[in-house]
């Protein structure tokens, strides 16, 4: 039951369900409800003035203002996930320069081949099919070459230096097929290998020529001993070969364009992904073009679900809007249009913002596909607040019109819209500003893709803020005009429908009773203690979870769960990286290479890498200079070559050699040394200027991106010691690895700056120490919870999660800001007369239902992202769910309890009324005329001035 004291503290549901019937002249919304100047700041008075005039403008010029939000969109695409200033940028630039014969877009296609039954590929049929694939790609897919033939050129026709990279596979297949013949016999029965074609791994030999199989065969498991190999009746030491990798690398043909190269790579990938059928082997094709296409596919797959999300959100807005309208007796058919346009507004803002970005030259990264979901999820929240405020104002204005004598009360559409803008404008401004600031700070992230994401979202939130008033506000003005014209008719209908009116009154009683009991419970001291205890446990768990988060970057996070690239990454992690992780060591300043000191310096450089613990060894290193030594040694023994090289010492020959293109031509034309053309570069005068070597590493720990990041830094440190050679390294994943070191400091710095900015915004809008402290404290608490629970939910720290954490700080402001600001405003508007319970009651009456609408609608909408099985969708869904849950808990529970407690503490220890109150109480107790005396304040604002009135007892 509700006592009479309760009804004195709280508002009466019968009147308006939000405002108190006891303070009819001070706390009800009216046509002149301005903030008392004595209790306001210049900024709050400016907001009052500004939003009131916004309401007037959008009401007076609704149809004109409605044409503003429509703009045209243009698209472009280019992706990038490397931090600005990262060393890999320079390394990639030098790598491209090295391969810039015909442009910096070399042909690079990698084909992964596995057995269809997941068995070994060392079977004749499987090897034959693999070689067929190798030749099919080399001969049958044509690259346009307009300066040569109209039909184009095959790979074997346009390739330059790496044409024979895959040939060891052919030699191995030939030897294996021959030696698998039942009639084949070894020269010596006790031998394990044939000396003519030795099929051992990693180095096989054909007629004495050694071939390295390690760049082609991966995941090899050798026979444990010689007897096991003999029992298998095989002349190779390979027991199991799960993966063969073919590489097609070449300079871009002179007359081919970048688009031609991409089309050629796509043609191969599509054929082997969709059309290739084979009963023995499976193929997967990978290239930079294919990877980019899959990343784009990840983003583009999201777009169709915007329609589904729009329908879900519109339906939810319509249902909840009907419930709210029924409660306020405000339902009209025009609420349907408001529900729909509430969802249209954020989409228009997204279109305008992305269109403006693309028009300004920004690229269309796939991560921007998330922007419509985020903006629609948070943008509709403002519409809920506006609709709820409009309905409360309409209830109050209808009540005032009915109670005003002779119809003298001036009620117009302009005034109602203006009051709505004044009521919700500051709250919407706080949340929009904080959300935009969080993304603006994220724009200064070192990762270009995150910069693009943050720029798009910040601009979209800005447009949504503008459109919320100039578009949705005008829709409300138009709909409100029709609603006001039908109010008299609806009032008569409501009076006639007694049963419906009684049901609504009962609902008012239930809601009001619940709010009163909840506010009384929130203001209780035990509740404060319980909240503090729960928060301490929550903080401990969250902080421990946040400390366990691990920086991790894996390519599979950029692709759909069913993308073929994910299987390739699995091959890479399980078969390639642990067995053969290669680094290219470049020398950009060869200088006078005939100098013995220079040669020794280069040898020392390579030797330092080969001494590293994880290096496979010198025999796995591809270094042209060592083959050149062998070449010189061979030419000395050759009578014809001996005429060209008079010295008999290998070292003497190499040290006296001029190393010009002309003198090295014979070496580079030899069949077994022809591939070294790809490793060496000459200047226009034919002098040797630069070259590179490939050094191989192995180890199970190389699967870890953190370990490979450490190894990359060790490689770079060695290169830095040879600055005279301008040595540098290139690793395919360096652009990703460079992010690892920046993730934690960037996230921390961005989070701290964002939090400081949130605090500043709260100070500007809520010029009250306790309110700002509570709001900031709640924002920090929500952020700590989001960070910690994301880590415990299996999310690593990577560029995507870094963007969401920065985003979560901005979004975490929404719920605390609404609650704190309305508490602050009720204190000003009531001139300090309301108790904390009353203020919390008015806050929850004003924003409780819209906040629940916002939270539930956001969760329902972002769940649409789960229809796309990707890491990016998973991170955004988990982040938004945590932000909403923790935000609602803080906005509807933590902040009310904290504000009540702090207000009571402030009144108890710092209020200037305390001494006056104590003096009055003593006077009443000591006076024999206490029943005839009534102590009141002449002015509510004069806290230290009391007036004693003596009643007439006659």
Q: How far apart are CA 935 and CA 530, in angstroms?
A: 38
Q: How many Å apart are CA 235 and CA 757, to the nearest integer?
A: 71
Domains contained in the chain, CATH given: 4-30+298-547+739-908 (1.20.1640.10), 102-279 (no CATH), 564-732 (no CATH), 916-950 (no CATH)
Q: Is residue 718 predicted with pLDDT exceeding 90?
A: yes
pLDDT over 90 at 855, yes or no: no
Supply the pLDDT for residue 95.
75
CA distance from start to end of the chain? 40
Would you say residue 628 has pLDDT above 70? yes
pLDDT digits (tens, 9 = 90+) for 136-168: 999 999 888 665 555 788 888 888 777 888 999
With beta carbons less than 8 A apart as the criterion, state whether 392 and 328 touch. yes
| pLDDT given at position 721 | 93
Per-residue pLDDT, 148:
55
What local confidence, expressed as pLDDT, does residue 947 receive? 36
Band of pLDDT at residue 225, cut at 50, 70 and 90: confident
Q: What is the mean pLDDT of the chain?
A: 78
| pLDDT the model gives residue 662 | 85
Q: Which pLDDT value is given to residue 329?
A: 77
**Residue with tokens 């070292």, as numbered in its chain:** 651
Closest CA relative to residue 624, chosen from 652, 643, 602: 602
Radius of gyration of the chain (CA): 38
Residue 832 pLDDT class (50, 70, 90 cuts): low
pLDDT digits (tens, 9 = 90+) for 296-337: 787 778 778 888 888 888 888 888 888 888 887 777 888 888
> Residue for token digits 């590929």?
121
Residue-by-residue DSSP string for 833-853:
-S-HHHHHHHHHHHHHHHHHH
Q: pLDDT per residue over 230-255, tens digit each? A: 787 787 888 999 999 999 988 888 77
- Per-residue confidence at 541, pLDDT binned at 50, 70, 90? very high
Question: What pLDDT is recorded for position 638?
Answer: 56
What's the token pair of residue 46? 């400016």
Please give the pLDDT value at position 40.
54
Beta-carbon-side half-sphere exposure of residue 387 (alpha carbons within 13 Å):
35
Helix (H) or strand (E) holding 695: strand 688-697
CA–CA separation, 80 and 447 (whole Å): 8
Least confident of 315-319, 362-366, 392-396, 628-632: 362-366
At residue 487, the pLDDT reads: 76
pLDDT at 45: 64
Q: What tens digit of pLDDT does each residue of 873-910 get?
A: 888 889 989 988 998 898 888 888 888 888 777 777 76
Average pLDDT over residues 521-539: 90
Taking CA 862 as the corner, what is the angle to CA 858 and CA 867, rounded to the nearest 5 degrees? 155
| Arithmetic mean of pLDDT, 190-203 | 77
Query: What is the average pLDDT across 647-659?
Result: 54
Mean per-residue pLDDT for 545-557? 81
Residue 329 CA: distances (Å) to CA of 341, 505, 506, 508, 610: 21, 10, 13, 11, 82
| pLDDT exceeds 60 at position 732 | yes
Per-residue pLDDT tens over the stretch 83-134: 666 777 777 778 777 776 655 567 889 999 999 999 999 999 999 999 999 9
Q: Is the pLDDT of residue 869 over 80?
A: yes
**Residue of 944 and 561 predicted with greater confidence:** 561
């Amino acid at each position: 039951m509700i006592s009479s004291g309760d009804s004195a503290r709280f508002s009466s549901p019968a009147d308006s369900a939000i405002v108190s019937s006891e303070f009819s002249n001070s706390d009800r919304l009216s046509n002149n409800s301005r903030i008392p100047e004595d209790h306001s700041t210049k900024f709050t008075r400016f907001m009052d003035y500004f939003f009131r005039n916004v309401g007037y403008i959008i009401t007076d010029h609704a149809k004109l203002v409605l044409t503003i939000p429509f703009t045209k969109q243009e698209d472009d695409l280019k992706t990038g996930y490397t931090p600005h200033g990262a060393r890999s940028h320079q390394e990639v630039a030098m790598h491209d320069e090295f391969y810039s014969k015909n442009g910096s877009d070399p042909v690079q296609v990698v084909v992964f081949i596995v057995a269809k039954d997941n068995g070994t590929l060392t079977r004749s049929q499987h090897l034959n099919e693999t070689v067929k694939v190798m030749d099919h790609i080399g001969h049958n897919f044509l690259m346009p070459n307009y300066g040569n033939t109209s039909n184009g050129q095959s790979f074997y026709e346009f390739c330059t230096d790496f044409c024979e990279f895959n040939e060891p596979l052919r030699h191995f297949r030939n030897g294996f097929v021959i030696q698998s013949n039942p009639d084949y016999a070894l020269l010596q029965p006790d031998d394990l290998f044939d000396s003519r074609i030795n099929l051992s791994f990693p180095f096989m030999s054909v007629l004495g020529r050694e071939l390295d199989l390690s760049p082609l065969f991966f995941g090899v498991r050798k026979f444990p001993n010689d007897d096991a190999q003999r029992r298998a009746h095989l002349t190779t030491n390979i027991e199991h070969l799960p993966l063969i990798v073919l590489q097609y690398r070449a300079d871009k043909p002179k007359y081919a364009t970048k688009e031609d190269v991409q089309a050629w790579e796509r043609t191969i990938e599509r054929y082997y992904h969709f059309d290739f059928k084979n009963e023995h082997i499976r193929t997967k094709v990978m290239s930079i073009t294919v990877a980019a296409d899959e990343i784009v596919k990840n983003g583009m797959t999201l777009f169709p679900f915007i329609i589904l999300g729009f329908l879900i959100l519109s339906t939810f807005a319509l249902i909840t809007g009907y419930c709210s309208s029924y409660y306020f007796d405000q339902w009209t058919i025009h609420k349907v249009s408001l529900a729909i346009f509430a969802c249209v507004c954020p989409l228009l803002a997204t279109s305008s913002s992305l269109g403006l970005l693309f028009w300004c030259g920004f690229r269309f990264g796939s991560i921007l596909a998330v922007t419509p979901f985020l903006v629609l999820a948070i943008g509709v929240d403002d519409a809920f607040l506006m609709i709820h405020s409009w309905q409360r104002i309409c209830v109050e204005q209808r009540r005032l019109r009915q109670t005003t004598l002779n119809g003298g009360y001036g009620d117009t559409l302009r005034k109602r819209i203006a009051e709505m803008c004044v009521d919700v404008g500051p709250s919407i401004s706080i949340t929009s500003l904080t959300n935009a600031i969080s993304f603006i700070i994220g724009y200064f992230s070192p990762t270009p893709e995150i910069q693009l994401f943050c720029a798009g979202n910040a601009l979209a939130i800005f447009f949504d803020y503008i459109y919320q008033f100039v578009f949705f506000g005008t829709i409300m003005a138009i709909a409100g005009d029709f609603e006001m014209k039908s109010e008299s008719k609806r009032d008569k209908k409501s009076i006639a429908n007694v049963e419906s009116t009684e049901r609504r009154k009962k609902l008012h009683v239930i809601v009001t009773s619940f709010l009163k009991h909840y506010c009384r419970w929130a203001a209780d001291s035990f509740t404060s203690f319980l909240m503090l205890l729960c928060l301490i446990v929550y903080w401990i768990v969250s902080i421990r979870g946040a400390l366990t988060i691990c920086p991790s970057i894996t390519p599979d996070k950029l692709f759909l769960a069913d993308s073929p690239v994910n299987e390739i990454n699995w091959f890479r992690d399980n078969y390639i990286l642990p067995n053969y992780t290669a680094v290219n060591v470049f020398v950009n300043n060869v200088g006078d290479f005939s100098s013995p000191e220079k040669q020794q310096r280069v040898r020392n450089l390579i030797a330092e890498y080969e001494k590293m613990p994880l290096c496979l060894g010198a025999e796995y290193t591809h270094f042209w200079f060592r083959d050149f030594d062998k070449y010189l040694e061979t030419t000395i023994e050759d009578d014809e070559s001996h005429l060209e090289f008079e010295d008999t010492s290998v070292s003497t020959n190499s040290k006296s050699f001029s190393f010009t293109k002309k003198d090295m031509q014979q070496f580079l034309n030899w069949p077994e040394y022809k591939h070294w053309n790809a490793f060496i570069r000459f200047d226009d005068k034919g002098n040797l200027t630069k070259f590179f070597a490939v050094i191989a590493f192995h180890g199970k720990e190389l699967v870890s991106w953190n370990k490979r990041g450490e190894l990359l830094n060790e490689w770079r440190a060695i290169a830095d010691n040879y600055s005279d050679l301008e040595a540098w390294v290139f690793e395919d994943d360096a652009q990703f690895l460079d992010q690892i070191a920046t993730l934690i400091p960037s996230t921390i710095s961005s989070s701290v700056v964002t939090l400081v900015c949130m605090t500043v915004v709260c100070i500007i809008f809520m010029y009250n120490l306790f309110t700002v402290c509570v709001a900031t404290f709640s924002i920090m608490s929500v952020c700590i919870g989001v960070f910690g629970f994301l880590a415990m939910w299996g999310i690593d720290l990577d560029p995507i999660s870094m963007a969401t954490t920065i985003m979560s700080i901005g979004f975490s402001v929404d719920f605390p800001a609404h609650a704190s600001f309305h508490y602050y405003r009720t204190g000003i508007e009531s001139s300090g007369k309301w108790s904390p319970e009353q203020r919390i009651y008015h806050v929850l009456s004003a924003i409780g239902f819209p906040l629940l609408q916002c939270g539930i609608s956001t969760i329902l909408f972002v769940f649409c992202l789960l229809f796309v099985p990707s890491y990016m969708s998973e991170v955004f869904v988990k982040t938004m769910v945590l932000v909403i849950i923790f935000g609602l808990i803080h906005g509807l529970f933590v902040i009310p309890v904290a504000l009540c407690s702090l207000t009571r503490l402030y009144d108890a220890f710092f209020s200037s009324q305390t001494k006056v109150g104590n003096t009055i109480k003593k006077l009443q107790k000591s006076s024999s005329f206490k029943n005839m005396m009534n102590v009141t304040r002449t002015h509510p604002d004069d806290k230290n001035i009391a007036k004693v009135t003596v009643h007439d007892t006659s």
